[in-house]
Each structure stands twice: as C-alpha cells, then as structure tokens.
Amino acid sequence: MTLALSWIVQPSDGQVAAAAELLDAVATADGVDPISEAAALRLHHPGAEVVHLLAYDSAGTLVGYAGLDERVERRTAEFVVHPGHRRRGVGGALLAALLDRVHGPLWVWAHGEHPAALRLARRAGLARRRELFQLRRRLAEPIPLQVLPDGVALRAFVPGEDEAAVVRVNNRAFAWHPEQHRWDASELEMRKAQPWFDPKGFLLAVDPADRLLGFHWTKVHPDGVGEVYVLAVDPDAQGTGLGGALTVAGLAYLRERGVSEAMLYVESDNAAALHTYQKLGFVYHHTDAAFLRP
C-alpha cells in the first residue's frame, strides 16, 4: 500500500474528527479502547508536548493514527490501524516513523494485547516492561460494607472550589506513578469538560476542618459501564482503611445510578491493590501492555 505520513502538532477539526472516527471503528472491531484516555484527550485538546501522526492511503483516506507524547521524562506512543486496512504495512510504517523520530527511550502501548501489535513490537526489538490490568465487577453482587475512619465525612466535589486540593492529593498519592503524578489544573479542567463529568460522582473524603484526605472519582462510559476512575488517598491518611471505604462508596454510588458493571485499571505488579480489588469481587478482563525501546 502506498502511504502518505504526516506529522501534525495542531490537527484541524476535520483531522480530529477523522481520527476519532477511526478510533471508534477500531474499538468496535477489537472490543477494547485502542488508545488511552489521556491520549484521546490530547487528540481533542492538542498541546505542544504531543504530536500526531496521520497515515493516508492513495485515495486520501485516513487508515492509521499515532499519538506521541514528547515530554522528555517519558516519551510515550500509541498507534492504531483501521480494521479494514490491516496487514498492508500501515502499522509497521507508523511504528518505524515513531522510532525514527525519537532518539533514546520510547514507550509504546499495545492495548488489549492485540496480536498484530505484539508481533510488531517483537520485530522492532521492543521489550515488554509494563502491564496494566483491567478488572471488572458486576454491581448486582453484594457490595461489602466498609465504614469511614472516625471523623471523616464524604461530600461531593464542588467545581470552582476543590480543584487545587484534588490536584495536590492526586500528585501526593501517585508520586510513584509514571503518568498520574504530574497532574496540574489543566488535566482536571480537560476532564471536567467531558460529557460524562458529574460532580455528584466525584466523592471527597474530608476531615472536620474540610481538609481533603482522599477521593474516589467515578466515571460512567457511553456504553453504561462504570469506572473506578481515580482513587487517591493522601499519604498522611493511608493505612486507616480510607481507601477501601472510598472504593465501596463509589461502587454504591454507581449502582444507585443504575450502572450494572464497574471496571478499573491496576498495575499488574501492585500486589496489594490487586488483593484488595479481588476481595471486593473484581475479576480480570484484559491487559494493556507497554513496550520499551531502550
């Protein structure tokens, strides 16, 4: 197949729409989201730190897309090929262009461990270095009761008032996390602007002085699946049982909304979190794998 590859920093509305349509087609065909939510947000809210690679066939049809986060501390790429144009060299061309652009370490995701993506990673000599499990749970099953620590209350997020505290607790709770630790106000604002955002499902745990100790941000996807979107506990409040109580409160909220199934993501090597979620009835659904070019 003859391909035309184009690097874009600020995609036009038409290019964004075409890429979004391609991503929807891939998700329908493969049964998993083909790129991370963070990458999808960067497509719709472009910035200087992310570049986009568009692959067109000879007829001018968009047949492949890649997003590359060029932030120096952790360059990360995600790419997809339209289901109707696979096995024609599109994926290989996208990966080769990504590897050629980045000098030094590059992380590349294979969401849902798609066999074609795994083959391309092996051929390129990429090493599998990280796995993210998606777990799921039916909400019709009993949700165990877990009480909040003494003196802690739950309330809903208040837009315009709680943003700074949420960013602070998020970054303290996820200081170890490759992506989540570097949030700022803009990351929160992008997500608040999404159609799914509901402050009532953004549960804050506060002390008697209304100081934020932790939060459980829930999300309901367009297909009706609920998500333990972000669960964060300030390090000063860890070990008190707050994390478990927040998890249960969020699951109960989703069930009250009529959601029948909940999902979450967890690092495969986070044994403590996996044990906690399995005790709460979550079971394995699929793996997103990240490969590293040293």
Does residue 111 share a domain with residue 154? Answer: no
Does residue 158 share a domain with residue 273? Answer: yes
Query: Which of 61, 93, 125 corresponds to the end of one domain?
Result: 125
Asked if residue 293 is part of any domain, the answer here is no
Give the residue from 221, 236, 54 showing the smallest Cα distance to 149: 236
Task: Supply the pLDDT for residue 71.
Answer: 80
Does residue 150 share a domain with residue 31? Answer: no
Q: What is the CATH number of the domain that holds 110?
A: 3.40.630.30
50 CB-near residues (< 8 Å, 6+ apart): 39, 42, 67, 68, 69, 70
Query: Which of 125, 147, 172 corresponds to the end of one domain?
Result: 125
Asked if residue 153 is part of any domain, the answer here is yes
Token pair, residue 243, equals 């994390």
Number of domains in the chain: 2
Asked if residue 131 is part of any domain, the answer here is no
Does residue 201 share a domain with residue 236? Answer: yes
Does residue 100 share a domain with residue 79? Answer: yes
Asked if residue 294 is part of any domain, the answer here is no
Q: Residue 206: which domain range?
A: 136-286
Does residue 230 share a domain with residue 89? Answer: no
CB burial string 261-283: b at 16+ within 10 A, e below: bbbbebeeeeeebbeebeebbbe
Task: Supply the pLDDT for residue 34.
Answer: 94
Does residue 237 share a domain with residue 153? Answer: yes
Does residue 34 share a domain with residue 172? Answer: no
Asked if residue 291 is part of any domain, the answer here is no
Does residue 261 share a domain with residue 155? Answer: yes
**Which residues is 233 bridged to in the sheet?**
214
103 CB-near residues (< 8 Å, 6+ apart): none
Asked if residue 87 is part of any domain, the answer here is yes
pLDDT in tens, the chain (294 residues): 789 999 999 999 999 999 999 999 999 999 999 999 999 999 998 776 899 999 999 999 999 999 999 986 789 999 999 999 999 999 999 999 999 999 999 999 999 999 999 999 999 999 999 999 999 999 999 999 899 999 999 999 999 999 999 999 999 999 998 888 889 999 999 999 999 999 999 999 999 999 999 999 999 999 999 999 999 999 999 999 999 999 999 999 999 999 999 999 999 999 988 998 999 999 999 999 999 998
Task: Supply the pLDDT for residue 9.
Answer: 94
Does residue 217 share a domain with residue 163? Answer: yes
Task: Supply the pLDDT for residue 72.
Answer: 65
Query: Which of 98, 125, 152 corresponds to the end of one domain?
Result: 125
- Which uninterrupted H or E stretch holds 137? strand 127-138
Does residue 152 share a domain with residue 10? Answer: no
- Asked if 251 and 262 count as a contact pair (C-beta separation under 8 A), the reply is yes
Does residue 83 share a domain with residue 10? Answer: yes
CA distance 287 to 112: 5
- Write the burial class of residue 175 (CB in 10 Å: 0-12 exposed, 13-18 middle, 19+ buried): exposed
Asked if residue 159 is part of any domain, the answer here is yes
Asked if residue 23 is part of any domain, the answer here is yes
